[in-house]
Amino acid sequence: MAFVIWSRRNVSHQRVRFVEARTVRAMVIVAVIAMILAALALGIAIGAAMGNTHAAEEKSQTERRSYEIDELGKISATLTHIEPRVIELVSQVNELQDFEAQLKAARRAADRPDIHVVPPLPDNDDESPLDSSASGGPSLPPRLCDAQRAAQTGSAPQRLKRTQSALDCLDATIGALDDAVLAHYASYMAFPGRQPAPGARSGSPFGNRIDPFTGHLNFHPGVDLVAPTGTAIFASAGGRVVQAGPHGGYGNAVDIQHSSGVITRYGHTSKIFVKVGDLVMPGQKIAEIGSTGRSTGPHLHFEVIIDGTQVNPKPYLALFKLKSDAAS
What does 281-326 look like in DSSP terms, one character per residue? Answer: -TT-EEEEEB--SS-SSSEEEEEEEETTEEE-SHHHHHHHHHHHHH
Residue partners of 162: CB distance under 8 A and separation at least 6: 146, 149, 150, 153, 154
Report how far residue 5's alpha carbon sits from residue 122's, in angstroms, rounded to the nearest whole number: 10
CB of 192 closer than 8 Å to CB of 262: yes
For the chain, the residue count is 328
For the chain, give every domain's residue range. Answer: 2-189, 201-327
Could you list the pLDDT tens digit for every one of the 328 residues in the chain? 433 334 333 333 333 333 444 555 555 555 555 565 555 555 555 555 555 555 556 767 776 777 777 777 777 777 777 777 777 777 777 777 777 776 666 555 544 444 434 444 434 434 444 444 444 455 445 555 655 455 555 666 666 677 777 777 777 777 767 776 776 778 888 899 999 999 999 999 999 999 999 999 999 999 999 999 999 999 999 999 999 999 999 999 999 999 878 999 999 999 999 999 999 999 999 999 999 999 999 999 999 999 999 999 998 998 877 555 555 4
The H or E element containing residue 53 is none
| Helices and strands: H and E segment counts in the chain | 5, 14
Out of 3.20.20.80, 3.90.950.10, 3.40.50.12780, 2.70.70.10, the CATH code matching 201-327 is 2.70.70.10
Report how far residue 59's alpha carbon sits from residue 27's, in angstroms, rounded to the nearest whole number: 42
Q: Enter the pTM of the model.
A: 0.60
CB of 45 closer than 8 Å to CB of 68: yes
Binning the chain into helix, strand and coil, the percentages to the nearest 5 are 45, 20, 35
Report how far residue 232's alpha carbon sits from residue 227's, in angstroms, rounded to the nearest whole number: 9
